[in-house]
Amino acid sequence: MRNHTLVTEFILLGIPGTEGLETVLFTLFFSFYLCALLGNALILTAIISSSHLHTPMYFFLGNLSMFDLGFSSTTTPKMLLSLLGQSPVISFQGCVSQLFFYHFLGCTECFLYTVMAYDRFVAICHPLRYTVIMNRRVCSTLATGSWMGGCVHTIILTSLTFRLLYCGSNEVGYYFCDIPAVLSLACEDTSLAQTVGFTNVGLVSLICFFLVLVSYTRIGITISKIHSAAGRQRAFSTCSAHITAILCAYGPVIVIYLQPNPSPLLGAIIPILNNLVSPMLNPLIYSLRNKDVKSALRNVFSKRGFSLENK
């Protein structure tokens, strides 16, 4: 080890196979990023400002919007700057922070989707007891547990990844610091970190996905027993958005972390879908097409417009 210099910074090589497409990709990804920020900010504004939306479902949607704002901002700004020709260098501490927040928010997302599936299960399968079961204390505990669980999960992953020595190449074959790309540069045995990474990321995602499937299986059985066609349609519409978002969220995670050797291009495209496209679509899937949310936003902007006219 004496003949090697410890790595103090990393070079992010970007998205493989996209040379010459930087301007097009910047325009596309910047548009996605702005839509994600605007959509989730609107949802948070509507939920906070309207007392009619202070229910368990919208409480968890507010948490999801906060997650989407942070998740899309973890890797996107650096990627956009690199596409503009800025330096692709990231400091060692910056790499640690990027990896930490990426997995912290990613794991929190898995837990939040599982909690939201449970919320829909109680609402449809036990409607008369819904307000008793999903009271304010339970909702706060579930949300706090999701964020704390994501934090503990990420502390383990980050500490195992960066306790290793990095003394050789510092070129990360990726557009951000993720575990598979960073571990390949370590000068020590990475088997423990790889095993824990596989377990904590891939297996946790599968377990959460299984719990979601169990919830929606029970929901489907209950919906099939509803005699009214209008009632079935109403119950199905409350769940279809959640199912769509879950498939968009869990699919990329399972594909990336349960494959022993994913192709570089596939390994770059799927996280982009997860980091940018899902946070952009979630507001549309969940809330911005919802009548209650539209009404709350109209009230917010009408009050704002009235106050400006008075001034």
Per the structure, the complete domain to which residue 212 belongs is given by: 9-302
Residue 211 in any domain: the answer is yes
Higher-pLDDT residue of 203 and 176 is 176
- Domain assignment present for residue 189? The answer is yes
CATH number at residue 45: 1.20.1070.10
The answer to the question of residue 309 being in a domain is no
Q: Which residue, 241, 237, 235, is CA-closest to 219?
A: 235
pTM of the model: 0.83
Domain contains 4: no
Least confident of 91-100, 159-168, 221-230: 221-230
Q: Mean pLDDT across the chain, nearest whole number?
A: 80
Nearest CA to 4 out of 185, 172, 183 is that of 185
| pLDDT per residue as tens digits for the range 279-296 | 887 787 766 567 777 777
- Chain centre distance of CA 169: 30
| Residue bearing the bigger pLDDT, 242 or 161 | 161
Q: What is the pLDDT of residue 253?
A: 62
Q: Is pLDDT above 50 for 155? A: yes
Q: How many domains does the chain have?
A: 1
Q: Mean pLDDT, to the nearest integer, of 192-220?
A: 78
User: What angle separates helix 92-125 from helix 56-83, to the nearest 10 degrees?
Assistant: 150
Q: State residue 251's pLDDT score.
A: 65
Q: Which residue has the higher pLDDT, 165 or 3?
A: 165
The mean per-residue pLDDT over the stretch 74-97 comes to 89
In a domain, 2, yes or no: no
Q: How confident is the model at residue 198 (pLDDT cuts 50, 70, 90)?
A: low
Whether 275 has a pLDDT exceeding 90, the answer reads: no
Q: Which of these ranges, 35-44, 99-108, 189-198, has the smallest mean pLDDT? A: 189-198
Q: Which of 38, 40, 41 shows the shortest CA–CA distance to 30? A: 38
Tell me phi and psi for residue 181, to 5 degrees.
-70, -40
Asked, for residue 308, whether it belongs to a domain, the answer is no
pLDDT of residue 282: 77
Does residue 123 lie within any of the structural domains? yes
- Taking 50 as the threshold, does the pLDDT of residue 270 lie above it? yes
Q: What is the pLDDT of residues 94-152, one digit of tens each?
A: 999 999 998 898 888 889 889 988 998 898 888 889 989 999 999 999 999 999 988 98
- Residue 146 in any domain: the answer is yes
Number of Cβ within 10 Å of residue 227's Cβ equals 6
- What percent of the chain has pLDDT above 90? 11
If one compares 124 and 274, the residue with the highest pLDDT of the two is: 124
